[in-house]
Amino acid sequence: MNVSGAAVRACGLVKTHGQGQSRVRAVDEVDLEVPQGQMLAVMGPSGCGKSTLLHLLGGLERPTGGEVWVAGRRIDTMSERALARLRRRSVGFIFQAFHLVEELSAAENVELPALLAGRSRRQARRRASLLLERVGLAERARHLPSQLSGGQRQRVAVARALVNDPLMVLADEPTGNLDTAATLDVLRIFEELRSAGQTFVIVTHDERVAATADRLVSMRDGMFVDDTWLAGSHARGLGGLIGLEG
Amino acid sequence: MQDAVLAMLAKEPSHGYDLRARLRQSLGPLGESMNPGQIYVTLARLEKAGLVICERAGGLPERPERKVYALTPAGQQRVTAWLAEVGWPKPDLAEFHLKLAAAASARLADPVELIAAQRRELLRRLREAQHAALAEPAGAGAGLLLEGVVLRLQADLRWLDACERVWSKVDDEVEGG
């Protein structure tokens, strides 16, 4: 099967929750291919299955049916151990609730996945300090998560997601807990990463977050109902956004 | 536009190109598509209306005639009135609202499809505005204006979500009997 160029690919993906009468198809026969370098946003109301989809793509949950391929390798049939390894090396996760280790400093949180992936202490430290600088938190490296604002914590989580140079970053409502200013900080970082060719799948209900993506998929009841290319389709220019005539 | 140009002249009498430069600075990338002649057309109209007067300033040899525009007393009054005005652009949602109703009743098109198409268009505009906003430095310049454009588009998109929720139910009811 030819899967070159795709960071992640899913076909006939199904995930059901519950049993018998209360059985729900959270993800219902979804086909998806995200080429490397693409930033894809998935939008939809709560309970439409978008988070479940993200978990399936990143190997956090196994599908009830269908296939998932990451970096050309089929992951839904992988052993638990091989899957954990692949997740560590190829996938960076960003969650709404940050999920930082409260006992570790910002820098240590970022270093942790690098150490788990087998990098040396020195390598991990160097990489962490580089990434914290990139997200504008070089001076906060020694702070504990409890000493940081929500926006700063999420930026630490972004640095952590990038520490192993992942093939793709999966983000689940990355700005869900942030105010407008902190959201803009995170979006600015995403935009920089996008221009640098980082592959993203972002699940969100915030139109602003979705609008940073190249492509937007809308989900309802476990299915895709719309797939829109957002990037570079306008010739009108920014002046058309405001009325300046007369 | 006329009012904005008048108000800029309240600071000091200026050349057309000074006004243009100030507009460009406030509007940033949003002003790029502005016709270079637009400011002169506007100034000519204001002059005709007696709100500004045009004086010819002693020019440099290479630019012998440079027009300097200044407010007349009537122009001053109009600026004062404009500043006190609380008019605000009204969002024109009725047209789309009526489009959905008409399409559904005449069975011309599926309202849910129309909403989806409109949504795609607004999301593209939002992306464009957002990219420009993220590229502007923080402050009172063009970034702040772009923020306003972004927030309005976001509000419109939320309204489209509400439209979609209601019209998909109407569809279901029709199909269900």
**Binary contact (B123, A187; C-beta < 8 A):** no
Put simply, whether A104 touches B (Cβ < 8 Å) is no
In CATH, the architecture of A37-48+79-230 is: 3-Layer(aba) Sandwich (3.40)
Give the nearest partner residue to A211 out of B2, B42, B126, using CB atoms: B126
- Report the alpha-carbon distance of residue B118 to residue B145 in Å, rounded: 23
Which tens digit of pLDDT belongs to each residue from B77-128?
999 999 999 988 888 899 999 999 999 999 999 999 999 999 999 999 999 9
**Binary contact (A244, B145; C-beta < 8 A):** no
Closest-CA residue of A relative to B148 is A242
Put simply, whether A162 touches B (Cβ < 8 Å) is no
Residue spans per domain, chain A: 37-48+79-230
What is this structure's pTM? 0.85
**Binary contact (A243, B33; C-beta < 8 A):** no
Predicted ipTM of the assembly: 0.83
Is the distance from CB of B11 to CB of A216 less than 8 angstroms? no
Put simply, whether A20 touches B (Cβ < 8 Å) is no
- Report the alpha-carbon distance of residue B80 to residue B51 in Å, rounded: 13
Closest-CA residue of A relative to B124 is A230
- Report the alpha-carbon distance of residue B81 to residue B3 in Å, rounded: 10
So what's the pLDDT on residue A169? 97
Q: Mean of the pLDDT values across residues B17-29?
A: 88
Give the nearest partner residue to A239 out of B31, B124, B134, using CB atoms: B31
Which tens digit of pLDDT belongs to each residue from A34-69?
999 999 999 998 889 999 999 999 999 999 999 999
- Report the alpha-carbon distance of residue A54 to residue A62 in Å, rounded: 11
User: CB burial class (10 A; 0-12, 13-18, 19+) of residue A106?
Assistant: buried
Helix, strand or coil, per DSSP, at residue A244: coil
- Runs of H (alpha helix) within chain A: 50-57, 80-90, 106-116, 121-134, 150-162, 180-195, 207-210
- Chain A residues within an 8 Å CB radius of B42: 246
- Chain B residues within an 8 Å CB radius of A233: 124
Q: How confident is the model at residue B142 (pLDDT cuts 50, 70, 90)?
A: confident
Closest-CA residue of A relative to B155 is A207
